[in-house]
Structure 1
Amino acid sequence: MVYEVRRLRLLRELAVHGTIAATAEACCLTPSAVSQQLSLLEREAGTPLLVRDGRRVVLTEAARVLVAHTERVLAELEKARSEVSALRRAVRGTVRLSSFPSAAVALAAPAIAACRAAHPDLRILLDEREPDRCVTGLRQHECDVALVYEYDLLPRLADSGVALSPLLHEPLVAALPPEEPAALPDGPVTLASLRDQPWIAPHSDNALRTVLERACQAAGFEPHLDYTSDDYTVIMALVQAGLGVSLIPRLVAEPLSTDVRLREVSGLRLTRTISVAVRRGAAEEPAVAALVNALRAAVPG
């Protein structure tokens, strides 16, 4: 019995996405092509792999066993490719880096510049995407290295085929107008002390907006979200104009703070962890390792 790796990869993606249509979209295939390949895989396995449940499909026990082995097979293939590349002892080729915007500014830009100076034969391509799309991009070989983030108040990113290595832990800070609300003490502030203030939140950054809302709820109130924006420059300008307060990662806030007062938050653990992500088994590939090391070196002291 011989399994075709490409079909095993499709089964793994189906386990992640849940439907043939979503799997086809993630893999840039048509639904009929995905169904055909999975039917061939069932024939190779000699046992049913999928059971229809309305619009979704449920993996059988045999399919779940195959998915578990597929994760290990793909990681071993990545490791083999990395070790063969390492034998050349040359840092060359093309590495595709995906990053969310604030890390692209603070980490990716200096890391790419350092790699260009140290490794002239290494080409690094950069695109921007949010963490969940970065993980998908790594699985689909759309990128080789990714910068991702996780918040304490949200579920962790989890994918057995992707290895995360933390780069830094940064606090979320309260962004207050130059003329701070009356009666605030010096030093860190509690969110409860800001409960009566208008709040300014991200519009499409659902993760940070959810963290803001959950943090305020944990402090005993629902925030009045008077203003939202997808542009952090706009958010900071609104705060500076005295129109409200916000909760922003320090890496985002400090370069934009101007006259805005940034205060630590007490009483809650509000932290964003920025990590570098690679496909499991790929870390030893020389070009990937060079970029990861440069990203580590770019972390502010």
Structure 2
Amino acid sequence: MYDVRRLRLLRELARHGTIAATAEACNLSPSAVSQQLAQLEREVRTQLLVRDGRRVVLTEAARVLVAHTERVLAELEQARAEVAALSTSVRGTVRLSSFPSAAAALAAPAIAACRTSHPDLRVLLDEAEPEESISALRTRGSDLALVYEYNLLPRIRDKGITLQPLLQEPLLVALPPEGDAAAPAGPVSLTDLSTRPWIAPHSDTALRSVLERACQAAGFEPQLDYTSDDYTVIMSLVQAGLGLTLMPRLIAEPLATDVRLCEVSGLQLSRTVSVAVRAGSESEPTITALRAALREAAGGAL
């Protein structure tokens, strides 16, 4: 009989590539991961890992186990969900991870609605970016995650994760106030803004990549004079007339005071916000209740 916890570690190793990265993702020490995988090799009675410098390479036997592990874990999640669904009430604790703008616009009203509709349901919220949230889902550190995907970047692909889109929002160009004579009215073409300086996020590499790709699609390389990790600082720089920026609506609208927000013409730029859960867990009552509340919150967000 193979231990499910060890199979899950092998699956995470296949994803992360190193013992150290797997240990970090699973909140374990590298030595603990190594010991558990060594024990799994003894259970399987065949070699599963070959060291290649700092990385390890999975053998064919290991790859077979990983493929079966995805199906086994999904079946176990479904079994838990069906047993929990036998209860006549929604009760217990459910853990939600969310990136900041969705935490404010979607998670807060959804949690409040759940508190009213399901007083025996406790929702815990952690703030995290999509990659970290997906990792937490896989290792059972959270039960649901609010994640996003930009249409100009690769999409989330994970056999162990199910995504349900909640909303699609446009990316908006933030321009200085109306007093700026160079600021156009209505939707704007990025090509017409090619000579203007731009302001980009520093650590939000996804949004920065979208800004750069969008400008490249419009035929120019953006002149990035300023970067910041604080979106209020970015908006202040725009308001001061020091440059332009590109932001999803959920981020931009709460911060836009005197800043003008315009949609982009001639180029589709969007961000899809989804709720992610582990495959097989969709019918678990606490997850079903929170997903329904998130859908309702999304309906009123834009």
Same fold (TM over 0.5): yes
Whichever residue aligns with residue 156 of structure 1, its letter is R
Q: CA RMSD in A?
A: 1.3
Distance in 1 (alpha carbons) for counterparts of 2:80 and 2:234:
45
User: Unaligned 5+ residue runs, structure 1?
Assistant: none
The equivalent of 2:109 in structure 1 is 110
The equivalent of 1:37 in structure 2 is 36
Distance in 2 (alpha carbons) for counterparts of 1:294 and 1:27:
29
Distance in 2 (alpha carbons) for counterparts of 1:9 and 1:180:
58
Whichever residue aligns with residue 48 of structure 2, its letter is L
The equivalences for 1:281-296 within 5 A come to 281-296=280-295
Q: Is the 8 A contact 2:93 2:122 kept in 1?
A: yes
Q: Is the 8 A contact 1:179 1:242 kept in 2?
A: no
Tell me by how many angstroms 1:186 deviates: 3.6
TM-score by length of 2: 0.96
| Secondary structure of the corresponding residue to residue 193 of structure 1 | helix
Structure 2 vs 1, CA of residues 16 and 80 (structure 1 numbering), >3 Å: closer, same or farther?
A: same
Spell out structure 1 runs of 4+ moving beyond 3 A.
Answer: 179-186
Distance in 1 (alpha carbons) for counterparts of 2:132 and 2:219:
33
| Secondary structure of the corresponding residue to residue 251 of structure 2 | helix
The equivalences for 1:66-105 within 5 A come to 66-105=65-104
CA distances 1:249-270 after superposition (whole Å, capped 9, x unpaired) = 0111112211211111022221
The equivalent of 1:52 in structure 2 is 51
Matched, 1:254 2:253: yes
Count, aligned residues: 300
The equivalences for 1:1-301 within 5 A come to 2-179=1-178, 182=181, 185-301=184-300
Tell me by how many angstroms 1:62 deviates: 1.1
| Secondary structure of the corresponding residue to residue 115 of structure 2 | helix
Whichever residue aligns with residue 166 of structure 1, its letter is P
Q: Is the 8 A contact 2:13 2:19 kept in 1?
A: yes
Tell me by how many angstroms 1:182 deviates: 4.5
CA distances 1:140-174 after superposition (whole Å, capped 9, x unpaired) = 11111110000111111122111111000111011
Whichever residue aligns with residue 264 of structure 1, its letter is E
CA distances 1:118-145 after superposition (whole Å, capped 9, x unpaired) = 1111111111000000000101111111
Whichever residue aligns with residue 55 of structure 1, its letter is R
Whichever residue aligns with residue 128 of structure 1, its letter is E
CA distances 1:266-288 after superposition (whole Å, capped 9, x unpaired) = 22221100000011111111111
Whichever residue aligns with residue 59 of structure 2, its letter is T
User: Unaligned 5+ residue runs, structure 2?
Assistant: none
Percent of aligned pairs sharing the same letter: 74
TM-score by length of 1: 0.96
Tell me by how many angstroms 1:45 deviates: 1.5
CA distances 1:19-68 after superposition (whole Å, capped 9, x unpaired) = 11111121122222211211121122122111111111111111111001
Structure 2 vs 1, CA of residues 129 and 253 (structure 1 numbering), >3 Å: closer, same or farther?
A: same
